[in-house]
Amino acid sequence: MSETSSLFGLLRNSADPNVAQAVEKLVTDGSDRELCRVNVLAFAAKHGLDEERAIAGFLHAASIGLFDISWNVLCPGCGGVLDSNTTLKTVAREEYVCSLCAEGYSPTLDEMVEVTFTVSPRVRRIAAHNPEEMPLFEYLRQLYWGSGVDLPENDYVETLESMVIEHVEVDPGEKIVLSLQLPAEFIIVFEAVTHAVQFIDVKGEPTRERQNLSLVYDREHVDNQTLEMRPGPMRIAIENRSSTRVLPAVFIAGDPLHHLIEKRRPFLTAKRLLTNQTFRDLYRTETVAVDQRLKITSLTFLFTDLRGSTELYERVGDLTAFDLVRSHFQVLQDIVAAEAGAVVKTIGDAVMATFPTPDRAVAAALRMREAMQELNRKSGSEDLLLKIGVHEGPCIAVTMNDRQDYFGQTVNIASRVQGLATSREIFVTSAVMENKDSAGILESKRLTPVSQDMNLRGIEREVRIYAIP
């Protein structure tokens, strides 16, 4: 049996069978482009797979060596990859600058960091493993633009050709001269490898006199100010002083270019992956560096605790109580994972979990309450009385006690809200209730929350709390 066949066998033992089959077919029969920076959500949609099971499947595939994971910092404007990392620990800059959009961005894990999967070169060699040999259009498609840019499948090359006046490949140390005719358009001379840009505003009366431009590419290239030129002949002298080849292209920055990059599709964000239980289980120590502070614009926290657990141990004895509490933990973890969440930690009899969106946390909370009622019915007692609190907001992803954790006021409020909850009602904040999908879940179950403004310990302002009956 070959090594790859053996890896497929391991994947079938750990991943959903349909996902494992689809991944095996992808690795065996997929094109080079399909195996480069796989967008897991698009892959799941194409093959009719459950997203969470597809994510888990690719994580298992990466853990055994079928794929390499890439954490790519994206430009929110053009969707370009500003930096590519093999681990989240190296996403360390305070600002990432997109030369093409002429903007700087402070990275957040919500929509600015995508997670993609590329087949390992040990399993199958593809063109992207040798990016220095890829032609410009494929380099742009596979390596420059992120997986969230929904590029056309059939007429991609024709679309680019309609907006690129000229392009050339320049080897290290090489000098090349381009001669072309400038149209009366806004022009971008964009180099995709070094991300260097020269903007040219072409306007005014046409000229027959040749206009000249000199461009030098190196790793310390500073973007130039916008030049004004007139329609007519132009000569561009290009010198490559970098250690790799460069791919300068003269783009017309018109509607076709804007339409090409404005069409987007969902992609797997770093935030969503960090809230995935399979990821936390498989990559427990490979997330955030000790001194990293990564921002998340919106994350939903769910806290639970057992009411009267001390009395429970006193009433039924340590062994019986321990078995009950352990069963309750397993049920809660299964529900969290099923709702696209992850258990961050347990503290005594309490659970802290995260979810990518408020509605998934609300759905989990309702299922948890029902599950505890069912366990109590089976035991013929009311031993497991669960208090649940949910809150959503910004936070910071950190590493504490060798474990990926979260820090910030959002976490504090969520914990305080759980402390106020009763075993009959789930307490959520207005930030959770303002989510239309959360409200939709409650409406579908004919549950009408009751609100009141409450003071939380350590929080100066009053917080509006909704009790879900």
pLDDT in tens, 166-196: 999 999 999 999 999 999 999 999 999 999 9
Task: Count other C-beta atoms under 10 Å from residue 279's C-beta.
Answer: 23
When pLDDT is averaged across residues 131-158 and rounded to a whole number, the result is 96
When pLDDT is averaged across residues 290-311 and rounded to a whole number, the result is 85
Asked whether the CA dihedral 279, 275, 79, 26 is positive or negative, the reply is positive
When pLDDT is averaged across residues 380-393 and rounded to a whole number, the result is 88
Min mean pLDDT across 21-25, 97-101, 218-222, 270-274 is at 218-222
Domain extents in the chain: 3-145, 164-253, 288-468
CA 298, chain centre distance (Å) = 13
When pLDDT is averaged across residues 115-129 and rounded to a whole number, the result is 97
For residue 1, pLDDT over 60 is answered with: no
Whole-structure pTM value: 0.91
When pLDDT is averaged across residues 443-455 and rounded to a whole number, the result is 95
Amino acid residing at 214 = S
SS3 for 293?
A: coil
SS3 for 386?
A: strand
φ/ψ of 359, rounded to 5, equals -65, -35
The pLDDT score that the predictor gives to residue 316 is 63
Task: State the pairing for strand pair 67-74/113-119.
Answer: antiparallel
374-385 per-position pLDDT tens digit: 888 887 777 778
How far is it between the farthest Cα atoms of the chain? Answer: 97
Domain 288-468 top-level CATH class: alpha beta
Question: Given pLDDT bands bounded at 50, 70 and 90, which one contains residue 212?
Answer: very high
Buried-state track 63-102, b at ≥16 Cβ within 10 A, e below 16: bbebbbbbbbbbbeebbbbbbeeeebbebeeeebebbbbe
Identify which has the larger pLDDT, 379 or 231. 231
For residue 222, pLDDT over 80 is answered with: no
Amino acid residing at 368 = M
The pLDDT score that the predictor gives to residue 410 is 96
The pLDDT score that the predictor gives to residue 257 is 94
Question: Given pLDDT bands bounded at 50, 70 and 90, which one contains residue 317?
Answer: low
Q: Kindly state the percentage of the chain with pLDDT values over 90.
A: 80
The pLDDT score that the predictor gives to residue 163 is 96
Would you say 191 and 246 are in contact if contact means Cβ atoms under 8 Å apart?
yes
